[in-house]
Each structure stands twice: as structure tokens, then as C-alpha cells.
């Protein structure tokens, strides 16, 4: 009985124990609220012992006790609170823009934006490119950005759509960075038919004035686009355009061009030779660049031909007109007809602003009635270089360029003297295979454009006959 006392010296008789009963577990006193956890630990330990017993062979004469697995109650995982969202970055302060106006200086622009001359001094002197900020031009954009405390945190000098200089306050000093953009270069084609002038035909074909004049300059040594073009002449171009944000930003180079003048075909291909020099050549490798341009102006029309016995429109007397007048708007560029040196540049009552250029020992060209001169006496100029702009200074009734051509001191008709000038240079014979290979794909494209243009003209002529 549980309460009976055992006689002294008596030996207790114990029940035989199962083999696993020798793994006695220590007695642990647990609190009531720890009971569940204790049962779970005990169950896991018993399962572990049972698995360990399977690794050893038990004696056949003993019965192995089977332990019932104890399933621990599921303990819910503590809920994890979601991480707080990252703090939002402070919004960048807006840029306040100001357009540079005529007569502006940097101090005035900074003052309009609410900043001081000290800010001007720091931005100009501290960063690497600061001195460039002092060279501003009307139409450019200056933008300002304020800091949290109202201090000048940044300045942007938008010099063009392709270049911006950024100035930022970095700690205690201003730094600068040049941001440049590269336009996308795409290749385009255009074809046109002359109905009145090259200029009008080019505009109808969607060409810019710059591209039209570049074409005129390429063929300027073989075609006088003032007097030679005839109705029905055709032109075809393969050229590049520069795009920015998907829209046209600027004109590119003419890659190839053809002009059919009264049945005579002229072609020109842009080619970079083995020395890295770029030029235009015909299909045989002969340079399109002649000694002189036939028309040294970005022309629109011709108003007076070479006439030694004409009546001067102002003086009303018979004065030889030893040259050609090219009527064009004031400010139209005037080009040097050939390479040479400026021997005179100045102003007179009759000639207005003028520039005289000596080309070697035999030839001299004169440009009169200029609005502005862009060349000085003694300066060397190259063919096609702008030496002035069209005007009506001196004895002139309207804006035009008066152009004279002298050979050995004698006035010659600039529209016919070119036939007596030396021929153009050609590519070296050993470079011709390289040239031919380079222009082959573009020559095929140019020929296809010409075929398409001829077909359209033939169809238009047939329709006109049918209507007639």
C-alpha cells in the first residue's frame, strides 16, 4: 500500500523492467503552464531513442517495448509586422528658366532670379567650366535651382539643344559638368523636276535651302545654276538628316547627287580618300571641285548679265557692267569663288562694302555692294568660304551681289571664262578600285531614283497627250 512502512532490512521486490526502461529520465518539476511544452519535448526524445534502438540488434530473448508517438501541439508562429515603407525621397526643386535677352549680362540675369553678385562670382570662379558661363548669347537659356534654405543649388546654361553646362553646389563649392547629346543620323532621298528654278524645285522636293545650296556648290564648277537649268531638268539626291527626339534637327551631308541638264547627266559622290580628305567626285573619280565656282552666291535669281554697254540704273550713263549681278535678300551668304588671298577689303561710295581676292598670278575676283564683310585684307580664303553677305551699299538700287572676274587684269564674263580654265584633278589610278567599291551601292540607289523620276515624267507626259 502506498502508505505502509517497509520493515527494516526487508528487500523490495520490483517488477521486471522492459529493456528500454533502463533509459531513465530525470524527474523534472514543471509548472502547470509548462506542461504542454514538456510533453512535447518528452515525446520527441522518446521518438529519438526509438530510432536509435533500431540501429542496434535487440536480444531475441527480450521483448522490445513499443512507445506510442506523442504528437506535440502546433504552436502558432508569432505574427511579423510588415516593414514600414521606405521614406519617400524629397522632390527635386524646380528649375526656373530665363532667356538671355539682348543687352543682358550675367549679373543682371542672376539678379532677376533673386541671387547676388557673390553667387555670380562663385559660380564663375569655382567650377572647372565656370568661365564659359560668362560667355552668353541672346536666345540661350539660363536656369536656376534653389536649395532647401533658398541658397543657389544649381545653374544650367543651355547653350544649344545639343549642349548644356550644369553647375551644382556640392558641399561647400560649385562643380560643373558638360551634358552633350548626339543627334540620330538617318539617310533620306529626294527627287525633283525643274519647272522654274533649282531653288523652287528643291523646295517642292522637301529640301532645305542649305541642302539646295550645298548641291549647287557641289556642281558649281560644272553647272551655272543661274543660267544653265532648263524646264524639265531633273535632280536626285541621297543625303543625311540629323534627328533629335524624332524630329529633324539639322541638315547632314549629301552622299550622292545627280543632275540631268538638258539630257546631259552629271553625278557626284561623296568620298573620303586614303589620306582622310573628303571630296566629291564623278563616277570616273574626277573631282567636282573646279578652280572657281560658277555662281559665288546663295542665289535666288539673276538680275543683270555681263553687258559692257549697259546704262547704269543710278548714274543714268553708259557704264560698262563688267560682271554679273545676283539679286538675293540682304544677308544672303557670299562665297569665295576660289582659293586665294584678300588683296583689298573696304568701302567706297560706288562699290559700297567690297572684297577683292587674288587667285594665283592670273586671276582676280571682286565682290561689291556687300551688307557686311567677313574677310580682311591679307587673309587667305578657301573656295566656298563665306567672305560677306549680300547688301545694297554704295551705288545699288536693291540688295544684290555684283561679281567680277578678271584674267590677267582684263574683265571676263564669269559665266563663260570657266571653259578656258584648267581641268580638275582626278584620283590616283591605284585608288580607283577602292573608290569604285565605295560608291557602288549608292550609285545603284541613285540610278534607281533617276529611273523612277524618268518613269513619272513619261507617265505625266502621256497623260498630258491623252488630255490634249
Q: Is the pLDDT of residue 392 over 90?
A: yes
Count CB neighbours of 265 within 10 A.
12
What value does the mean pLDDT take over residues 264-272?
96
Cα 111 from Cα 122, distance rounded (Å): 14
What residues are paired with 261 via a beta bridge?
264
Query: In 3D, which of 356, 349, 402, 348 has the Cα closest to residue 375?
Result: 356
Query: In 3D, which of 355, 197, 377, 358 has the Cα closest to residue 292?
Result: 358
Among 85-99, 250-264, 408-422, top mean pLDDT goes to 250-264
**Per-residue confidence (pLDDT) for residue 221, from 0 to 100:** 82
Q: Is the pLDDT of residue 32 over 80?
A: no
- Structure-model confidence comparison of residues 308 and 231, the more confident one: 231
What value does the mean pLDDT take over residues 389-406?
92
* 3 state SS of 336: coil
Alpha carbon separation from 454 to 229, 265, 464 (Å, rounded): 17, 13, 15
Cell numbers linked to 454: 524618268
What does the mean pLDDT of the chain come to? 81
Cα 459 from Cα 289, distance rounded (Å): 36
**Per-residue confidence (pLDDT) for residue 317, from 0 to 100:** 42
Spatial neighbors of 422 by CB under 8 A, at least 6 apart, are: 291
- Structure-model confidence comparison of residues 365 and 217, the more confident one: 365
- Return the DSSP state at 407: E
- Split at pLDDT 50, 70, 90, the class of 293 is confident
* 3 state SS of 287: strand
**Per-residue confidence (pLDDT) for residue 468, from 0 to 100:** 65
Cα 270 from Cα 278, distance rounded (Å): 7
- Structure-model confidence comparison of residues 264 and 54, the more confident one: 264
What value does the mean pLDDT take over residues 215-242?
87
Length of the chain: 468
What value does the mean pLDDT take over residues 337-344?
95
Count CB neighbours of 32 within 10 A.
6
What value does the mean pLDDT take over residues 402-431?
84
**Per-residue confidence (pLDDT) for residue 90, from 0 to 100:** 57
Q: Is the overall model pTM greater than 0.75, yes or no?
A: no
The dihedral sign for the CA sequence 455, 459, 461, 462: positive
Q: Is the pLDDT of residue 162 over 50?
A: yes
SS (H, E, C) 449-460: HHHHHHHHHHHH
Q: Are 406 and 268 in contact (CB under 8 A)?
A: no
- Structure-model confidence comparison of residues 312 and 115, the more confident one: 115
What value does the mean pLDDT take over residues 193-200?
86
* 3 state SS of 63: coil
| Helix-then-strand count for the chain, H and E | 6, 20
What residues are paired with 346 via a beta bridge?
354
**Per-residue confidence (pLDDT) for residue 78, from 0 to 100:** 58
Amino acid at each position: 500500500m502506498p502508505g505502509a512502512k517497509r520493515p527494516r532490512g526487508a528487500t523490495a521486490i520490483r517488477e521486471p523492467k522492459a529493456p528500454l526502461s533502463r533509459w531513465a529520465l530525470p524527474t523534472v518539476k514543471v509548472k502547470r503552464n509548462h506542461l504542454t511544452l514538456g510533453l512535447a519535448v518528452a515525446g520527441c526524445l522518446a521518438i529519438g531513442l526509438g530510432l536509435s534502438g533500431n540501429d542496434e540488434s535487440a536480444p531475441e530473448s527480450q521483448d522490445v517495448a513499443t512507445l506510442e508517438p506523442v504528437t506535440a501541439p502546433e504552436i502558432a508562429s508569432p505574427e511579423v509586422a510588415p516593414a514600414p515603407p521606405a521614406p519617400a525621397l524629397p522632390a527635386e526643386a524646380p528649375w526656373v528658366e530665363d532667356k538671355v535677352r539682348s543687352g543682358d549680362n550675367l549679373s543682371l540675369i542672376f539678379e532677376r532670379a533673386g541671387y547676388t553678385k557673390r553667387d555670380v562670382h562663385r559660380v564663375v570662379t569655382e567650377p572647372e567650366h565656370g568661365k564659359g558661363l560668362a560667355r552668353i548669347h541672346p536666345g540661350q537659356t539660363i536656369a536656376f535651382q534653389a536649395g532647401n534654405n533658398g541658397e543657389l543649388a544649381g545653374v544650367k546654361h543651355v547653350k544649344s539643344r545639343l549642349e548644356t553646362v550644369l553647375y551644382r553646389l556640392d558641399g561647400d563649392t560649385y562643380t560643373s559638368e558638360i551634358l552633350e547629346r548626339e543627334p540620330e543620323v538617318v539617310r533620306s532621298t529626294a527627287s525633283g523636276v525643274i519647272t522654274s528654278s533649282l531653288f523652287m524645285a528643291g523646295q517642292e522636293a522637301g529640301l532645305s535651302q542649305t541642302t539646295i545650296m550645298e548641291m549647287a556648290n557641289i556642281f558649281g564648277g560644272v553647272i551655272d545654276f543661274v543660267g544653265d537649268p532648263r524646264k524639265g531638268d531633273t535632280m536626285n539626291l541621297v543625303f543625311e538628316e540629323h534627328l533629335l527626339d524624332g524630329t529633324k534637327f539639322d541638315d547632314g551631308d549629301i552622299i550622292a547627287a545627280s543632275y540631268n541638264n538638258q539630257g546631259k547627266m552629271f553625278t557626284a559622290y561623296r568620298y573620303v580618300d586614303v589620306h582622310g580628305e573628303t571630296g566629291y567626285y564623278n563616277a570616273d573619280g574626277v573631282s567636282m571641285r573646279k578652280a572657281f565656282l560658277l555662281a559665288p552666291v546663295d542665289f535666288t535669281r539673276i538680275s543683270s548679265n555681263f553687258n559692257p554697254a549697259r546704262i547704269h540704273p543710278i548714274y543714268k550713263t553708259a557704264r560698262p557692267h563688267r560682271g554679273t549681278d545676283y539679286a538675293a535678300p540682304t544677308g544672303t551668304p557670299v562665297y569665295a569663288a576660289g582659293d586665294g588671298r584678300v588683296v583689298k577689303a573696304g568701302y567706297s561710295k560706288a562699290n559700297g562694302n567690297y572684297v577683292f581676292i587674288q587667285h594665283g598670278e592670273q586671276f582676280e575676283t571682286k565682290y561689291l555692294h556687300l551688307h557686311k564683310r567677313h574677310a580682311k585684307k591679307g587673309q587667305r580664303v578657301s573656295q566656298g568660304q563665306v567672305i560677306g553677305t549680300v547688301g545694297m551699299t554704295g551705288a545699288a538700287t536693291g540688295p544684290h551681289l555684283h561679281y567680277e572676274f578678271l584674267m590677267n587684269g582684263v574683265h571676263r564674263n564669269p559665266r563663260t571664262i570657266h571653259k578656258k580654265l584648267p581641268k580638275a584633278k582626278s584620283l590616283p589610278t591605284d585608288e580607283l578600285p577602292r573608290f569604285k567599291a565605295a560608291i557602288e551601292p549608292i550609285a545603284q540607289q541613285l540610278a534607281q531614283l533617276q529611273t523612277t523620276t524618268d518613269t513619272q515624267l513619261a507617265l505625266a507626259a502621256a497623260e498630258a497627250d491623252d488630255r490634249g
